[in-house]
Amino acid sequence: MILLLQGLQSIDYLWWIVAAVGVVVFSLILLVVKRYKRCPSNKILVIYGKVASGQSARCLHGGGAFVWPLIQDYAYLSLDPMQIEIPLRGALSAENIRVNVPSVFTVAVGTDSAVMQTAAIRLLGLDVRQVTKQAEDIILGQLRQVIASMTIEEINRNRDKFLDSVQKSLTPELEKIGLVLINVNITDITDESGYIEAMGRKAASEAIQQAEIDVAQQQKKGSIGVAEARREQDVQVANADKSRTIGTKEAEREQIVRLAELDKDAQVGKSQATFEQQALVKAQERQMRVTVAENEAAAVTGENTARAKAVEAEATLKVKQAEAYQLTESRKREADAKVRELQYLAEARAAEAMAQKIENEQRAELEAAAKAQKARIIVDAEAQAEQIRLQAQAEAAATFARLEARARGEYEMLAKKAEGLKRIVEGCGGAQQAFQMLMLEHLPELAETAAKAIANVKFDKVVVWDGGSQNGKNATANFLQGLAGSLPPMLQMMKDIGGVEMPQFLGKLSEPPAAMPTGAVPMPPPAAGPAPKTPPKA
Q: What's the whole-number average pLDDT of the chain?
A: 76
Shared domain for 351 and 228, answered yes or no, is yes
Q: Which of 172, 193, 214 is a domain's end point? A: 193
Q: Can you give the pLDDT at residue 84?
A: 92
Q: Can you give the pLDDT at residue 519?
A: 44
Shared domain for 183 and 280, answered yes or no, is no
Q: Can you give the pLDDT at residue 485?
A: 60
| Least confident residue range of 49-58, 223-232, 326-335, 493-502 | 493-502
Backbone phi and psi for residue 109, each to the nearest 5 degrees, phi listed first: -70, 135
Beta-strand relationship, 473-474 and 82-92: unpaired
Q: Can you give the pLDDT at residue 303?
A: 66
Domain membership flag for residue 411: no
Contact 523, 532 (CB under 8 A): no
Domain membership flag for residue 334: yes
Domain membership flag for residue 369: yes
Most confidently predicted of 75-84, 300-309, 384-393, 450-459 = 75-84
Q: In this predicted model, what pLDDT tens digit does every residue of 176-207 receive, in sequence order? A: 999 999 998 888 888 777 776 666 677 777 77
Return the closest-CA partner of residue 148 out of 95, 72, 210: 95
pLDDT at 150 over 80: yes
Shared domain for 86 and 181, answered yes or no, is yes
pLDDT band at 353 (very low <50, low <70, confident <90, very high): confident
Q: What Å distances lie between residue 19 and 22, 434, 513, CA to CA? A: 5, 123, 156
Contact 84, 134 (CB under 8 A): no
Shared domain for 377 and 304, answered yes or no, is yes
Per the structure, how many domains does the chain have? 4
Q: Which of 340, 360, 390 is a domain's end point? A: 390
Q: Can you give the pLDDT at residue 99?
A: 87
- Please give the Cα distance from 206 to 502 (Å, whole number): 68
Domain membership flag for residue 303: yes
Q: In this predicted model, what pLDDT tens digit does every residue of 214-223 receive, in sequence order? A: 887 888 888 8
Q: In this predicted model, what pLDDT tens digit does every residue of 460-497 receive, in sequence order? A: 555 555 555 555 556 666 665 665 565 566 666 666 65
- Percentage above 70 pLDDT, the chain: 76
- Please give the Cα distance from 367 to 234 (Å, whole number): 10
Return the closest-CA partner of residue 175 out of 163, 165, 185, 167: 167
Shared domain for 168 and 215, answered yes or no, is no
Contact 517, 467 (CB under 8 A): no
* CATH code assigned at 142: 3.30.479.30
pLDDT at 527 over 50: no
Query: Does pTM surpass 0.75?
Result: no
Beta-strand relationship, 64-66 and 36-38: antiparallel
Return the closest-CA partner of residue 109 out of 181, 37, 184, 185: 181
| Least confident residue range of 2-6, 166-170, 242-246, 424-428 | 2-6
Of 341 and 119, more confident: 119
Q: Would you mind telling me the total number of residues written for the chain in this entry?
A: 538
Domain membership flag for residue 435: no
- Please give the Cα distance from 56 to 52 (Å, whole number): 8
- Please give the Cα distance from 307 to 374 (Å, whole number): 97
- Please give the Cα distance from 189 to 101 (Å, whole number): 5
Q: Which of 334, 363, 390 is a domain's end point? A: 390
Domain that holds residue 517: 461-523
Shared domain for 167 and 215, answered yes or no, is no
Cα 483 from chain centroid (whole Å): 66
pLDDT band at 138 (very low <50, low <70, confident <90, very high): very high
Interacting residues of 298 by C-beta distance below 8 A, sequence separation 6+: 306
Beta-strand relationship, 98-109 and 190-191: antiparallel
